[in-house]
């Protein structure tokens, strides 16, 4: 008798969430097995790469990364378009950093205006992360949702403190929300219960379990995500069946290992290569533990990850 791969039976399934509309529409989630275990259950939608775009010129980016974007980073529209056409981004993750009261305090109206402009100029779905105190984030996203009604954007983020405003904004204008939790399965579930009980459909929620890069506690993220997926698939726990988004680029690109020059740390080797490896490995860990959407920055890391995903699926 030949060798047979042992197979797990899964009773649950990850929810399918629709992002974008018409030309930009894609589906995420929907898998009926653990990540990349195509032999155990179907994996209808592959994980997608959302490239980071900021609404103000970012500071503190190493030259090895900045050099790809410095020509467009004054204009979020051009930046988004470059990510898509040149680097193959499958979605754009727009960080509304300037809405933070400490960084320009852009008004909800202006932010919503910008989101509209970016959304209309690209053919990929749009993911948003607010910035600043919870009240401001809720205020901004409420306006954004209203202005971008019916376009299935994915808005971040909701926590226990602001879930009501944002969930209502998503429900009223047919958009999606990111439910953020501090690496905790119970709190993730609690937030999902609160959101769904308000009337928000489960297929309008993605979970962000908080992320960190290699060397900064990625093992913890890995096991928290693994627990979420196991609860969703094996225990058929409805409140953990939301797809997962990892906002990991922000974590990877702030550590000293991707910023310090080779001159400073000769034993660490070439800075750019180091950054690419750091991001690729961090992202791969997240994908292996069940990420459905991953944020990224370095074009070379993006193409490497795309290759790996293709290879594995």
Partner 1 sequence: MVKQEKFFIKFLPSGKTIKVTPNYNLRQAILDCGLDIGSSCGGVGTCGRCKVQLKEGNTDSRDSKFITNREKKEGFILSCQSKVLSDLAVLIPEQKKGRTKIKKGESAKEPSKVYAGICQSELSSVEIKPWIVKETIDVEKPSLSYGTSDLYRLKKSISENLGVSDCMIPLHLIRKLPEILRSKSWKVTVTVDKENMILIDIYPGSTPKKCYGIALDIGTTTLAMYLVDLENGKIIGSASEYNPQIKFGEDIINRIVYSIKEGGLEKLREVIIDSINNLIWKLLLNSHVNADNIVSMVVAGNATMMHLFYGVPPKYIREEPYVTVANKFSSSTAEEVGIKHIKNAFIYNIQGVASYLGGDITSGVLATGVSTREDLTLFIDLGTNGELVVGNSDWMMGCSCSAGPAFEGGGVKCGIRAIDGAIEKVWIDQETFKCHVDVIGGGKPHGICGSGLLDIIGEMYLKGVIDRKGRFNKDIGNKYLRCVDKDCRYVLVNGKDSTTGKDIYISEVDVDNLMRAKAAVYAGIKTLLEEVDLEVSDIEKIYIAGGLGKNLNVQNAIVIGMLPDININKYYFLGNTSVTGAYLSLLSIEKYRQAEEIAGKITYIELSVNMRFMDRYVAGLFFPFTDLREFPTVEELMYSMSNKLK
Q: Does 226 bind partner 1 (CB under 8 A)?
A: no
* Residue 109: CB atoms within 10 Å: 12
With CB under 8 A as the contact rule, the residue among 194, 234, 281, 312 that binds partner 1 is 194
Q: How far is the CB of 220 from partner 1 (least distance, A)?
A: 14
Q: If binding is defined by CB under 8 A, does position 197 make contact with partner 1?
A: yes
Closer to partner 1 by Cβ: residue 16 or 196: 196
- Does 134 help bind partner 1 (rule: CB under 8 A)? no
Closest separation in Å from C-beta 134 to partner 1 = 12
237 binds partner 1 (CB under 8 A): yes
Site size for partner 1, by CB under 8 A? Answer: 13
Among 113, 184, 203, 262, binds partner 1 (CB under 8 A): 184
Contact 10, 43 (CB under 8 A): no
Nearest-angstrom CA–CA distance, 141 and 275: 32
283 φ, ψ (degrees, to nearest 5): -65, -40
> What whole-number distance in Å separates Cα of residue 168 and Cα of residue 57?
31
Helix, strand, coil shares of the chain, percent, nearest 5, are: 45, 15, 40
Binding mask 142-181 for partner 1 (x = CB under 8 A): ------------------x---x-----------------
Judged by beta carbon, residue 66 or residue 171, the one nearer partner 1 is: 171
Q: Which stretch binds partner 1 (CB under 8 A): 170-178, 192-200, 218-226, 294-302?
A: 192-200
If one asks whether residue 187 binds partner 1 (CB under 8 A), the answer comes out as: yes
- Region from 21-29, 126-134, 182-190, 249-257 binding partner 1, contact rule CB under 8 A: 182-190
Q: What is the rounded CA–CA span in Å between residue 247 and residue 129?
A: 9
Pick the piece of the chain touching partner 1 (CB under 8 A) from 10-18, 189-197, 244-252, 299-307.
189-197
Q: For partner 1, give the closer residue by CB, 118 or 185.
A: 185
**Alpha helices, H only, the chain:** 63-69, 76-85, 108-121, 134-147, 163-173, 185-197, 218-233, 249-252, 271-288, 299-312
Tokens (6 digits) for 268: 């660490």
Whole-angstrom distance, CA of residue 76 vs CA of residue 113: 12
* Class of residue 310 by CB neighbours under 10 A (exposed 0-12, middle 13-18, buried 19+): exposed
Asked if 186 interacts with partner 1 (CB under 8 A), we say yes
Q: DSSP secondary-structure letter at 201?
A: -
- 196 lies in the site for partner 1, by CB under 8 A: no
Contacting positions for partner 1 (CB under 8 A): 160, 164, 184-187, 189-190, 193-194, 197, 237, 239
């Amino acid at each position: 008798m030949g060798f047979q791969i042992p197979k797990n039976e899964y009773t649950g399934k990850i929810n399918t969430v629709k992002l974008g509309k018409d030309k930009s529409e894609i589906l995420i989630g929907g898998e009926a097995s653990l990540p990349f275990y195509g032999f155990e259950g179907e994996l209808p939608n592959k994980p997608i790469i959302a490239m980071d775009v900021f609404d103000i010129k970012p500071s503190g980016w190493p030259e090895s990364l900045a050099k790809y974007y410095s020509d467009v980073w004054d204009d979020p529209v051009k930046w988004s378009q470059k990510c898509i056409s040149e680097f193959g981004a499958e979605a754009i993750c727009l960080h509304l950093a300037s809405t933070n009261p400490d960084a320009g305090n852009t008004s909800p109206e202006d932010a919503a205006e910008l989101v509209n402009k970016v959304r209309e100029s690209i053919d990929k779905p749009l993911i948003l992360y607010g910035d600043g105190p919870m009240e401001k984030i809720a205020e901004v996203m409420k306006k954004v949702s209203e202005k971008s009604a019916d376009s299935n954007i994915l808005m971040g983020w909701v926590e226990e403190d602001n879930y009501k405003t944002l969930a209502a904004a998503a429900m009223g204008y047919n958009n999606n929300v990111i439910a953020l939790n501090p690496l905790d399965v119970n709190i993730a579930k609690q937030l999902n219960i609160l959101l769904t009980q308000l009337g928000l459909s489960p297929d309008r929620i993605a979970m962000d379990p908080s992320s960190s890069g290699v060397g900064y506690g990625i093992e913890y993220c890995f096991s928290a995500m693994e627990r979420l997926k196991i609860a969703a698939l094996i225990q058929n726990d409805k409140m953990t069946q939301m797809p997962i988004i990892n906002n990991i680029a922000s974590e990877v690109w702030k550590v000293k290992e991707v910023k310090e020059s080779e001159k400073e740390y000769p034993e660490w080797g070439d800075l750019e290569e180091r950054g690419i490896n750091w991001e690729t490995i961090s992202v791969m860990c997240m994908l292996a533990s069940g990420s459905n959407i991953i944020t990224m920055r370095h074009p070379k890391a993006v193409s490497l990850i795309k290759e790996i995903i293709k290879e594995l699926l």
